[in-house]
């Protein structure tokens, strides 16, 4: 399935609480809160007068692949435990719940940081060379109503594939959030996609659409 989404009637269970309380620290970093250049400024306030020693940034040099491997390590152990206890179907459902919420957070924070809520302001963040270190991508359609983006290499896909968490699991961890990001920025915006690297295709064919 190319667009798994949980039903709005999903019931709250203890295992869902486990995921949604444990995963967000990894999910926020891996699924997008760090992918939008302006969002880091919303999280890290440079005007703070004093910082606790635990909050002082360190100059650690890592490649995008090394950074991704480090961020996903904790998530990987949790997902493996869930798959063992619950099976793939329930694990995917719970991961979709979490990644959907992360997508909403990304769109909301981008909206809050943007003086304009128009379509071009929204899609500007996806234009190369943005994310050049994490993606190999190009714009294939660009109009007032549609912005098409093809991704041929993705660090999230490569890292998750290397640890056996690609396919539907990887889609639920990462790719699912992309559907919830645009309408959180502006309810008139949506994303369509029929292919993903994570699910074995040769490209991710994102189409962002202004329905207004």
> DSSP letter string over the chain?
--S----TTPPP-HHHHHHHHHSHHHHHHHHTTTTSTTHHHHHS-TT-S---GGGS-------HHHHHHHHHHHHHHHHHHHHHHH-HHHHHHHHHHHHHHHHHHHHHHHHHH-S--SHHHHHHTTSTTTTTTTEEEEEEEESSSEEEEEEEEEHHHHHHHHTT--HHHHHHHTGGGGGTHHHHH-TTEEEE-S--TTTT-S-EEEEEEE--
How far is it, in rounded angstroms, from Cα 131 to Cα 7? 32
Cα 128 from chain centre: 17
pLDDT for res 25: 39
Residues whose CB is less than 8 angstroms from the CB of residue 146 and which lie 6 or more positions away in sequence, other chains included: 207, 208, 209, 210
Question: Any idea what the Cα angle at residue 9 is, between residues 107 and 28, rounded to 5°?
Answer: 30
pLDDT for res 66: 86
Average pLDDT estimate for 184-195 = 98
Query: Which has the higher per-residue pLDDT, 179 or 15?
Result: 179
Percent of the chain with pLDDT over 70: 76
Would you say residue 44 has pLDDT above 80?
no
How far is it, in rounded angstroms, from Cα 151 to Cα 136? 6
* CB contact at 8 A, 177 and 100: yes
* Tens of pLDDT, residues 16-39: 444 444 444 344 444 344 444 444
Structure confidence at residue 53 as a pLDDT band (50, 70, 90): confident
Would you say residue 97 has pLDDT above 90?
yes
Length of the chain: 212
Which residues are registered as beta bridge partners of 136? 153
Q: Does domain 14-210 have CATH number 3.30.1380.20?
A: yes
pTM for this model (two decimals)? 0.76
Would you say residue 183 has pLDDT above 50?
yes
* Tens of pLDDT, residues 128-174: 999 888 999 999 999 999 999 999 999 999 999 999 999 999 999 99
Mean of per-residue pLDDT scores for the chain: 81
Going from N- to C-terminal start, the domains of the chain cover 14-210
């Amino acid at each position: 399935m190319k667009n798994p989404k949980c039903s709005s009637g999903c019931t709250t269970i203890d295992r869902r609480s486990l995921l949604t309380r444990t995963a967000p620290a990894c999910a926020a970093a891996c699924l997008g809160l760090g992918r939008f250049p302006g969002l880091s400024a919303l999280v890290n306030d440079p005007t703070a007068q004093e910082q606790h020693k635990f909050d002082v940034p360190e100059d650690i040099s890592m490649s995008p692949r090394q950074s991704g491997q480090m961020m996903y390590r904790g998530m990987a152990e949790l997902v493996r435990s869930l798959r063992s206890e619950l099976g793939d179907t329930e694990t995917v459902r719970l991961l979709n719940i979490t990644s959907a919420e992360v997508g909403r957070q990304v769109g909301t924070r981008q909206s809050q940081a943007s003086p304009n809520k128009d379509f071009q302001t929204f899609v500007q963040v996806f234009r190369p060379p943005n994310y050049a270190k994490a993606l190999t991508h190009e714009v294939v359609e660009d109009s007032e109503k549609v912005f098409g983006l093809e991704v041929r290499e993705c660090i999230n896909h490569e890292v998750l594939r290397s640890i056996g968490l690609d396919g539907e699991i990887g889609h639920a961890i990462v790719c699912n959030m992309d559907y919830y990001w645009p309408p959180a920025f502006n309810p008139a915006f949506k994303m369509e996609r029929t292919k993903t690297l994570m699910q074995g295709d040769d490209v991710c064919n994102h189409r962002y659409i202004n329905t207004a």
